[in-house]
Amino acid sequence: MLQVVQAFDRAPITEIATDDAVALEAKLQAAERVFRNRDGWLKPHERMAILRRLAGLIAGKRDHLALQIAREGGKPLPDAIVEVTRAIDGVHNAADELRNFAGREIPMGLSPAAADRWAFTTKEPIGIVAAISAFNHPLNLIVHQVAPAIATGCPVIIKPAGTTPLSCLDFVALVHEAGLPEAWCQSFVPETTELAEKLATDPRIAFLSFIGSAKVGWYLHSKLAHGARSALEHGGVAPAIVDKSANLEAIIEPIVKGGYYHAGQVCVSTQRIYVHDSIVNDFTERLVARVKTLRTGDSVLKDTEVGPLITPKEADRVASWIDEAVKGGAKLLTGGRRLSETTLEPTVLVDPSEEARISREEIFGPAVAIYRYRDLDDAIARANSLRVAFQASIFAQDIDIALRAANRLDASAVMINDPTTFRTDWMPFAGRRESGYATGGIPFTMRDMTQEKMILMRRS
């Protein structure tokens, strides 16, 4: 049995049964059986109808799902409500994408050998999808992994994070209620991590969707069966550059949201802030003043802005990184104090050493670091200096500065006057280098979960 607890106070919520090796084999066999039966594949209009019904069912449980996200995942309730709304829209997005999900004509007749022929491609589901998810968006990440599989006609086995399985289990139940036969979408809560690896690397798996730590993701990627595809979504140490032309009145709030949303437990959370020397003192004063007003506490309360870390162990780790930075010469301007077993005061550090972990690694906690710069290209070089690269921001009113930074920052997406955390569910979302592999976002995942087949006809 797996005990699920509230992230904030560790109070028990419930216990759920776990799956053993026998259960995993049964799930894989069921998925393989329905996929091999081509006559049983659901038509696109049937899959669209299921997704539409699913979106309605999620909407009907909006309050329940939002409270559950706040309890098991520690996301503040207002943000959890937004997550459910995004999940509903994401399901609709997958259904909408099917309207334009098509193959293409392959030109023939371009040589004598290709004369009197007609060729076109169709899209087919790639096969069984193994999806391994993360805790920080326990419903919406599941939607990003499962809705594309339903839309494209791939059987999917979804493993939620061990700390936040309830949102996934509720979602899968709603999928079945919407009319999708159970074998096409199955949850998997393994009793050991070895079984999760066994799922991902089973030769029957055609596609692995993994959201989580780079160490685990790249390891699983190396063990995939030959021919299997994967999409990996890891973390970054997201940089934001603040130019001297930036409107300080307008940018503090988005930067605070970028740094402290979900207590910094977001793969594109703003962590390194490079501020022009001429405005660094004014910027820092304004940022610290706002951070000091952030309401930190129980995630189920409507006025909470910063909730807990997912476990006490994670709170210990983040606190140790802050202490390390201060001992290494960083100035602690606010925060750093432990408020409870799982909560930390939102923290602002100034000028930590380049060797400090907060300067090099993803802290995944409520802390940002400010660094001063004089030359824009130097700030860009420092922002680009790590082996991780995901999303980045430039805050500037000078369009030439903004575009120069956007063109030179090593990131899959650069936000101009918006935080590094900005995302819509239909846009491409991808880590570079060690931060990930392939492209997320519902339309892009649907493409990865299909393969093209060319059909050629010879005219008599």
- The answer to whether residue 185 is catalytic is no
Residues with Cβ within 8 Å of 403's Cβ and at least 6 positions away in sequence, in order, are: none
Check if the beta carbon of residue 434 is closer than 8 Å to that of residue 267. no
Under DSSP, is residue 410 helix (H, G, I), strand (E, B) or coil?
coil
Backbone angles phi, psi at 98, to 5 degrees: -65, -20
Q: What sign does the CA torsion over 62, 446, 237, 213 have? A: positive
Under DSSP, is residue 71 helix (H, G, I), strand (E, B) or coil?
helix
Residues with Cβ within 8 Å of 428's Cβ and at least 6 positions away in sequence, in order, are: 412, 413, 439, 440, 441, 444
State the residue for tokens 């087949």: 453
Under DSSP, is residue 156 helix (H, G, I), strand (E, B) or coil?
strand
What tokens were used for 363? 């802290």
- The answer to whether residue 154 is catalytic is no
The CA distance from 129 to 146, in Å, is 9
Under DSSP, is residue 454 helix (H, G, I), strand (E, B) or coil?
strand
Beta strands in 374-449 (DSSP E): 388-389, 391-395, 413-416, 432-433, 436-437
Q: Which residue among 72, 83, 97, 233 is the active-site one?
A: 233
* Side-by-side strand order, sheet with 391-395: 331-334, 347-350, 367-373, 270-276, 238-242, 391-395, 413-416
Under DSSP, is residue 157 helix (H, G, I), strand (E, B) or coil?
strand
The CA distance from 81 to 347, in Å, is 25
The CA distance from 125 to 146, in Å, is 13
Q: How far is CA 62 from CA 115, 305, 426, in A?
A: 58, 20, 21
Identify which of 128, 231, 233 has the alpha carbon closest to the alpha carbon of residue 188: 128
- Return the number of other C-beta atoms located less than 10 Å from residue 158's C-beta: 26
End-to-end CA distance of the chain: 65
Q: How far is CA 202 from CA 28, 49, 50, in A?
A: 9, 31, 28
Residues with Cβ within 8 Å of 57's Cβ and at least 6 positions away in sequence, in order, are: 174, 177, 178
Residues forming beta bridges with residue 128, ordered by sequence position: 205
The CA distance from 180 to 153, in Å, is 11
Supply the residues annotated as catalytic: 233, 267
